[in-house]
Amino acid sequence: MASLSTPNAMSAEDRAAVDAFRRDVLEASLDQLVLVRFTATWCGPCKQLAPILDKAIAEHGQGRTKQVAIDIDQQRLLAEQFRIQSVPTVYAFLGGNPVDGFVGVKSEREIKAFIERLLAALPPTAEEASIEETVEAANALLDAGEAAAAADAFAALATEHPERADIAAGHARALLALGRTEDARAALAAVAADSGDAAVLQARAALDLAESATPATEVAALEQRIAADPSDHQARIDLALALFAGGRLDDAAEQLLASIAADRAWNDGAARTQLLKLIEARGLSDPWSIASRRKLSHLLFA
Annotated catalytic residue: which of 17, 26, 35, 43? Answer: 43
Strands 89-94 and 97-103: antiparallel
Strands 65-71 and 33-39: parallel
Name every residue whose Cβ is closer than 8 Å to that of residue 22 and which is 6 or more positions away in sequence.
Answer: 4
Annotated catalytic residue: which of 33, 36, 46, 177? Answer: 46
Query: Where do runs of H (alpha helix) occur along the chain?
Result: 12-21, 44-60, 76-81, 108-119, 126-143, 147-160, 165-177, 181-189, 198-212, 219-228, 233-245, 249-262, 270-282, 287-301
DSSP state of 246: T
Residue 239: closest CA among 219, 253, 225, 262:
219
Residues 278, 209 contacting (CB under 8 angstroms): yes
Name every residue whose Cβ is closer than 8 Å to that of residue 249 and which is 6 or more positions away in sequence.
Answer: 243, 278, 282, 288
CA separation for the pair 154, 134 (Å, rounded): 9
Q: Is 46 a catalytic residue?
A: yes
Q: Is 43 a catalytic residue?
A: yes
Class of residue 161 by CB neighbours under 10 A (exposed 0-12, middle 13-18, buried 19+) = middle
Residues 77, 14 contacting (CB under 8 angstroms): yes
90 bridge partner residues: 37, 102
CA separation for the pair 35, 94 (Å, rounded): 9
Catalytic annotation, residues: 43, 46
